[in-house]
Structure 1
Amino acid sequence: MNALNIYEGRYHIAKVEPRTFVDGEGVRCSIYLSGCPFDCKGCYNLAAQNFTYGQLCSDEMIDEIISHCEADYISGLSILGGEPFCNLKLAEKIVSRFRARFGRGKTIWVWSGFVFEYLKNDAKRQYLLRNIDVLVDGPFMRQLFRPNLAFRGSLNQRIIDVSRSLSNGKTVYLND
């Protein structure tokens, strides 16, 4: 399976964490989309590589995810996987609903095995990229694993401020 040619997953969610402190800054609601073609050695979420793992997502499930984000102490939504950019229909629907409810008042973080420079040039993936705030990019690489890296698993992964990167025409890291 070539990740570059996979745009639509099977509309499954592996897991929803209503409140977590590890998937981005602040207290966040995290959702794990099912399906990832990267097959990173040492992946911590092997089950979510299967595109039909977990539960078929419904509008009611998306409503529940959005309601988890309502509390003032929730900083935003984190979307992990699986691979969100290989699950565009579902990821875009969730992001659109989130933005309709919260605007830019809460943030969206996304983890992807794709690198930012590829995503910004892939027309089919640009909508999702343009509507998130932070991208943690790059595949997990077991040989570059470090246990105490904030919000990432291996040294090659970067934490990117998406809107600043797109407007500046160069990659800008969060908090730079």
Structure 2
Amino acid sequence: MRIMNILHDSVVDGIGLRTVVFFAGCPHHCRGCHNPQSWNMENGTELSLAEVVEEIASNPITNVTFSGGEPFAQAEEAHLLAIQIRKLGKSIWMYTGYTVEQLLAEGTEAQLALLEQCEMLVDGPFQLAERDLTIPFRGSRNQRLLSREDILRIRVELEEKQGILV
């Protein structure tokens, strides 16, 4: 997988101390993005699943956050990583420029599998006009903090609205 950076002991990327995995590659290209160098999938370093798990496990007191770039752009690899992280007993937060509705309605199997590993999702693209430094764990007011229960509720609402299973 292509990784921009792994940062330990963050207090701004979720509740508590967190190890943040910054994935390379992002299709959203949000104006005002704080990490535009992550847009290009060729940036960053190619790391194996074992290398990333070892780095995360080296800090036993932190939980984990997937950020980017866009973790869902590397959903297959990120899903496998999430499974290993959960085996370590760590919680996983994820940041995405997609809305949960987009992922549920249009996501690939790998993206949906990755979403299932998430305990807290910060969804939606960063919008410069909505930038707000006073709200915790988000960059703009349009972004939502969604728990696993929120995601399930939205999924059920979409299924009922569309009359199909998502």
The two structures have a TM-score, normalised by structure 1, of 0.81
Q: How does 1:45-64 map to 2 (within 5 A)?
A: 45-64=35-54
Task: Give the structure 2 partner of residue 86 of structure 1.
Answer: 73
Residue 62 of structure 1: CA displacement? 1.6
Residue deviations 1:41-67 (CA, integer Å, cap 9, x gap): 000001111102111012442232331
Distance 2:92 2:157 in 1: 20
Residues 1:161 and 2:151 aligned together: no
Letter in 1 for 2:25: G
Which of 127, 134, 145 aligns to 1:148? It is 134
Q: How does 1:59-70 map to 2 (within 5 A)?
A: 59-70=49-60
Residue deviations 1:72-125 (CA, integer Å, cap 9, x gap): xx2x100000011111122112101112222xxx31000001001121233422
Letter in 2 for 1:118: Q
Residues 64 and 153 (structure 1), Cα distance of their counterparts in 2 relative to 1, 3 Å cut: same
**What stretches of structure 2 of length at least 5 have no aligned partner?**
159-166
The structure with more helix, counted as a fraction of residues: 2
Of 15-24 and 120-129, deviating more is 120-129
Residues 1:95 and 2:95 aligned together: no
Residue 19 of structure 1: CA displacement? 1.2
Indicate the RMSD between aligned Cα atoms, in angstroms: 1.8
**What stretches of structure 1 of length at least 5 have no aligned partner?**
1-10, 172-176
Task: Give the structure 2 partner of residue 19 of structure 1.
Answer: 9
Residue 147 of structure 1: CA displacement? 1.9
Report the secondary structure of 2:114's partner residue. helix
How many residue pairs were aligned?
A: 155
Residues 1:120 and 2:104 aligned together: yes
Distance 1:69 1:166 in 2: 31
